[in-house]
Amino acid sequence: MSGEKHHIVPYRLYFVVLIALLALTFASVWITSIELRDYTVAAALLFAIVKSYLVLNYFMHLKYDKPYIKIMVGFVFAIFLVMIVITFLDYLYR
C-alpha cells in the first residue's frame, strides 16, 4: 500500500546471500562423500533449512515484514513439521 514504508535492500547484501547459497549448495554435495550413515539425510536437510532461511529472509523480504506475516509463515512450517512427524508415526513403528 502507498502509505507503507518499504525497506530497500542493497544489492551488495543480495550478492552476499547468493554467494552463501552457492557455497551451501556445494557443501551439501560435498558432504555426501563422507559416510554419515543415518545422519546423511539429516545433514542434507540441515543445509536445506539454512538455505531456505536465507531465501525467505532476504530474497523474499520476510526479515523486513510485519510480525503477522512472520507468524503466518511460521504456522506453515509448523504444519509441515507436524505432517512429517505424523507420517513417521507410521514408518518408525511399522
Partner 1 sequence: MQTTAVNGANYLTYQGKYKGLLGWIFSTDHKRIGLLYLYSIATMFTTGVLLGLAMKFELLAPGKTIMEAQTYNSVFTVHGVIMIFMVVVPGLPAVFGNLMLPIMIGARDVAFPKLNLLSWWLYVSGVFLVLAALLFGKGSPDTGWTFYAPYSFKTGTNMLPAIFGAFVLGFSSILTGLNFLVTIHRLRCKGMKWMKLPLFVWTLYGTAWIQLLATPVVGITLVLVALERVFGVGIFDPALGGDPILYQHLFWIYSHPAVYIMILPAMGAISEIIPTFSQKHIFGYKAIIASTMAIAFVGYLVWGHHMFTAGMSGTAQYYFSLLTFIVAIPSAIKVFNWISTLYKGSINIQTPFYWAVSFIFVFMIGGLSGLVLGALATDVHVHDTAFVVAHFHYIVFGGTGFAFFAAMHYWFPKIFGRMYDKAWANTGWLVFFVGFLALYTPMFYLGMMGMPRRYYDYLEEFHGGNILSTFGSWVLATGFIIIVVNLVRSARKGAPAEANPWHGRTLEWTVPSPPPVLNFDKEPVIGENDGPYNYE
Fill in the per-residue mask, 61 to 90: x = in contact with partner 1 (CB under 8 A), - = not in contact.
Answer: ---------------x--x--xx--xx-xx
- Give the integer Cα–Cα distance in Å for 37 and 15: 35
Q: Are 84 and 42 a contacting pair, CB within 8 Å?
A: no
Task: Using the minimum distance from each CB to partner 1, give the nearer residue, 1 or 34.
Answer: 1
Judged by beta carbon, residue 13 or residue 83, the one nearer partner 1 is: 83
Residue 52 CA to chain centroid, in angstroms? 2
Site map for partner 1, 19-58, x if CB under 8 A?
A: ----------------------------------------
CB of 49 or CB of 81, closer to partner 1: 81
In angstroms, rounded to a whole number, what is the distance separating the alpha carbons of residues 91 and 72? 29
Q: Which residue has the cell 532461511?
A: 53
